[in-house]
Copies of this chain bind each other. A is one copy, B any other.
Amino acid sequence: MKHENGLIIVLSGFSGAGKGTIMKHLLASYPGEYCLSISATTRQMRDGEQEGREYFFKSREEFDAMIASRELLEYATFNGNSYGTPRDYVEKLVAEGKDVILEIEIQGALQVRELYPDALLLFVMPPSADELKERLVGRGTESPEVIAQRLAISARESQFMPQYDYLVVNDILDESVKQVHEIIQSEHYRVERNHLTIKKMQEDLKKFERSM
């Protein structure tokens, strides 16, 4: 069965939950199945990055102009840098039947939900709060203050978990990647996403009745 439409899929979750890693493995494990949305940002390009690959790099003025002309379907600001998802790119791919994944933060996810009630929102979390703390500590790169701050942000963000559609418990990476894939594939068969298929079946069966 051909899917009626591509899905807009939001992958977000706590800092340190591993959503970036899941994302990378998902794209590698199912090549051609998913498109990754590329964000626009006002932050500086870093060594090794490339325009249009990691981000579309914009000046503050350009970014504000994109907001003003509603070219971004969501945007958010962290540490003085703004990040946003260009609307055109996503809508074009979805119309072609492609599944597009947005790896974005929670405030952006809720904007997407408002604009596209049909979007699929996945929340990546570690198996437990203790595990989240251990992962942040285990990196060895963050000071205790930064870790405390991250956990405080996670505590605040956890209030929005009920607004998502699915939890992805990132315990064993391969399983989480498979789980994300299966959730997306299954969603395509939800009745609400197949009105045309159902209507066609109903009409064709009625035609039989009339012809008999």
Contact = CB atoms under 8 A, between A and B. Distances in A.
A130 interface: yes
Nearest to A212: B148
A56 interface: no
Nearest to A204: B129
Contacts of A155: 202, 205-206, 208-209
A185 interface: yes
A30 to B, nearest CB: 14
A208 B136 CA distance: 13
Copies of this chain assembled into the complex: 2
A191 B167 contact: yes
B1 A127 contact: yes
Contact of A191 (B151, B154, B164): B164
- A interface SS class: helix
Interface string A179-198: 10011011101110011011
Given A151-B205, A167-B194, A168-B189, 19 more contacts: A1-B127, A125-B201, A128-B201, A128-B204, A129-B201, A129-B208, A151-B212, A152-B212, A155-B208, A158-B201, A158-B202, A158-B205, A161-B201, A164-B191, A166-B186, A166-B190, A166-B191, A167-B198, A182-B185
7 contacts: A155-B209, A159-B202, A161-B198, A163-B191, A165-B190, A166-B186, A182-B185
